[in-house]
């Protein structure tokens, strides 16, 4: 990932995201994979309702991707990774909001996340960070 901090504590936000977002992404990915295979149980620190919402969003993304001409496999892969990345970003944002030594109200970071799995490359971004 690439993280570009801004604001008085932007460097601290970027460092925290750099250090913890990959762990959250892996943990959330494993929990989501388990939830979609076996049942709709709590994802990571989420409750069952949040898990149902995540599965519902994934199903909506799969349908949208299929309508745009993606194969069933491509639409599943896209929906899975999109939900994994969004959930990891949301968890990271919540954690930064309660850290007493970081002013996350006036500071933040853009984020670019790249995941390569086999021949697939998935990009996620927050803010004005982009990759081509």
- pLDDT of the chain along its 132 residues, tens only? 889 999 999 999 999 999 999 998 888 778 777 766 544 444 444 445 555 566 566 666 666 666 666 665 666 777 788 888 888 888 899 999 999 999 988 999 999 988 887 888 888 888 888 887
117 vs 128: CA distance, rounded Å: 25
Roughly what angle, to the nearest 10 degrees, separates helices 10-37 and 72-97? 140
3-state helix, strand, coil in the chain (%, to 5): 55, 15, 25
CB of 92 closer than 8 Å to CB of 17: yes
CB of 106 closer than 8 Å to CB of 114: no
Residue 45, pLDDT score: 45
């Amino acid at each position: 990932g690439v993280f570009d901090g801004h604001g008085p504590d932007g460097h601290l936000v970027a460092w925290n995201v750099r250090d913890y977002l990959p762990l959250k992404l892996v943990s959330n990915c494993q929990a989501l994979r388990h939830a979609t295979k076996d049942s709709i149980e709590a994802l990571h620190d989420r409750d069952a309702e949040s898990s149902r919402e995540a599965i519902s969003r994934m199903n909506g993304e799969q349908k949208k991707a299929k309508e745009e001409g993606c194969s069933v496999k491509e639409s599943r892969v896209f929906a899975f990774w999109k939900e994994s990345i969004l959930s990891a970003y949301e968890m990271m944002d919540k954690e930064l909001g309660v850290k007493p030594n970081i002013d996350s109200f006036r500071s933040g970071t853009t984020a670019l996340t790249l995941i390569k799995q086999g021949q697939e490359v998935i990009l996620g971004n927050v803010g004005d960070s982009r990759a081509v």
